[in-house]
Structure 1
Amino acid sequence: MSLLSVNQVLAMLGSDNVAVVHQSVGLQKKMIDQKQVTISKHSEEAKSEVPAWQPATHHLDALLTSMQLRAKATLNITLSSDFVRYLALPAQPIHMSTKEKLAYAAASYREIYGEVVEKWDIKLNNAPVHQTTIAVAIDRDLLRALHQLAIKHDLKLIGVQPYLMNAFNCLSKQLGKISGYLIIVELKRLLLINLNHGDCVNLRTFPLSCDWQLALKSLMLRELMLKDTENKEVLVYAPLHKSAVIHAIEGWTIRRIGALKNNLSAARFSMLEVA
């Protein structure tokens, strides 16, 4: 193997499925292996009182065991919104240090979710003054379990990121300085992101219990009634529904958006999305 070639493992965890892509990058870029498993809701794990993320980590362990992985390969993990809680902190008129923002975020989460927040790891983006700060909270035990899996399989854990962050990065060039809405459709969640000149103003997540297009129509019609805005463009990112014709919604201009095909990392990420 070339010294300029590195093996990478990309994994995506959701409550319903787990996908893994094993690839080499460098002078010789190639796919080595790709595996996916659907998590049965009738399993003993699903019935017992275990954390919602535990079946996913068990399946990830099994997939990694079944793959021919090189020691010290890098591991990047993406978590679906099933395992992440997002919070949009309103823009502040004065500068706040990272420590102050984290305290503010923790207090805001605690007001919504209660004392369970003490078991979460909270991170946030370093937004400038007068811009919305996006915070994410992940169960600290889940992060600990993922680090232990990396050690068990002799992998170098590079990062654990929410799906939203990876998807937003893949779409950033297409989004540009748009003002309007970005809709990200996951398997069990719909993310509604309000953009102003490309910056996130607000972020909300909604569970999908019915057809995603019906849910989107209901949400956007409600948004039309509640918010007076001139920005009527809605960009829909739905990698699981690439062949679906997106229905028109009265009062809005709807168009599909996708990751750039010539971006290697985006291409590999897309494989995980639709696995």
Structure 2
Amino acid sequence: MSHSLRDHASQKYCAVLGAEGVGLGRWHANQHQWLGSREFTCDAAQPAWEAALQVLAALLAEHTVRGGQLQVLLSARFSRFCLVPWSDAISHPRELDAYARACFENLYAQPLDDWRIVLSPEPAGAARIATALPQALLQGLQALGRDSHLRLRSVQPYLMAAYNRCSAQLQQGDFLFVLAEPRRSVLLLAAGGAWQQVLAQGCADSDQALQALIERTCELYGEQMPRVYLHAPGRGDVPQLAAVQLCQPASEADPLCAMWRAVA
């Protein structure tokens, strides 16, 4: 039985580009279906996103994806994050972009000419969280979408998708939001109603390593320990930490599937 063009258009896919693998899920007629995942490897001369795109192309071909919408969630491995302080001297979007790039270059000690920068919307006077994504990765995703007749609906760091999904569970006041992806963690520190710190780094998948990372970040806070919120979608067990567990998905053997279900 063949599908009509309208059937194809109603298909919605979500690809999760993880630190070491790529997964693919589908929504159709309010039904959620995990299609599977594959690991990827890359040599030192190859950007990790190239290997991830090759695996995503293979997954789309394997499941004969021809038409619909595609949403992409990116691991912190493919993203860079930076705190952009407020500046009264900025009066134009072009100036803000240049200012954000200067903040990134100061932090990473290298230019980001081939990266796209997106800033979080914040009220006047408050610092912003900036995200940088490789321009070539975004172009590669657009090309994959064209090849599979998919409309690229959005490309979003998993950090932002997870925070937006979990934000309703966060209480008023100062807090530390911790995203523990497999092999990498990102921490967002908020105090006084504004962002104070964003930190992304490799972290072993153990309670001890994660607890040490949280404690080091809280030392930057300098005062009373803020409330800690933890989202750990790739962990098969519930971390035994002094933190509020957020969006804890059902147990999944595949961490990419757990990430997908947590924000689906």
Q: Which 10-residue stretch deviates more, 158-167 or 199-208?
A: 199-208
| 2: CA distance, partners of 1:260 / 1:51 | 31
Name the % identity: 25
Alignment check: 8 A CA contact 1:126 1:133 kept: yes
The residue aligned with 1:34 is 35
Cα-Cα RMSD: 2.8
Correspondences of 1:139-158 after superposition (within 5 Å)? 139-158=134-153
Tell me the secondary structure at the aligned position of residue 106 of structure 1. helix
Cα distance in 2 between the residues matched to 1:273 and 1:56: 21
Q: Indicate the residue corresponding to 2:83 in structure 1.
A: 88
Instruction: Tell whether the 8 Å contact from 1:240 to 1:273 is kept in structure 2 after alignment.
Output: no
- Alignment-derived partner of residue 52 in structure 1: 48
Instruction: Please give the TM-score of this superposition, normalised by the length of structure 2.
Output: 0.84
Residue of structure 2 in register with 1:63 after alignment: 59
Match of 2:245 in 1: 256
> Is this contact kept in 1: 2:247–2:262, CA < 8 A?
no
Partner amino acid for 2:197?
N
**Paired residue total:** 253
Q: TM-score, normalising length from structure 1?
A: 0.81
Output aligned runs, 1:72-221, within 5 Å.
Answer: 73-93=68-88, 96-196=91-191, 199-208=194-203, 210-221=204-215
The alpha-carbon deviation at position 87 of structure 1 amounts to: 0.6
Deviates more, 1:230-239 or 1:79-88: 230-239
Work out whether residues 17 and 75 of structure 2, in 8 Å CA contact, stay in contact via their aligned partners in 1: yes
**Mapping for residues 237-248 of structure 1, pairs under 5 Å:** 237-241=231-235, 243-248=237-242
1:227 to 211, 221, 224: 221
**Structure 1 residue 100: Cα displacement:** 1.8
Unaligned segments of structure 1, at least 5 residues = 249-253, 262-267
- Amino acid paired to 2:216: R
Counterpart of 2:246, as a letter, is I
Counterpart residue type for residue 245 of structure 2: R
The one-letter amino acid of 1:56's match is: A
Distance apart, 1:127 and its partner CA: 1.8
SS of 1:151's partner is: helix
Report the Cα distance in structure 2 between the residues aligned to 1:15 and 1:80, rounded to whole angstroms. 6
What is the CA distance between 1:222 and its match in structure 2?
Answer: 2.8
Cα distance in 2 for residues equivalent to 1:11 and 1:83: 14
In structure 2, do the counterparts of structure 1 residues 100 and 116 end up closer, same or farther at CA, with 3 Å as the change threshold?
Answer: closer
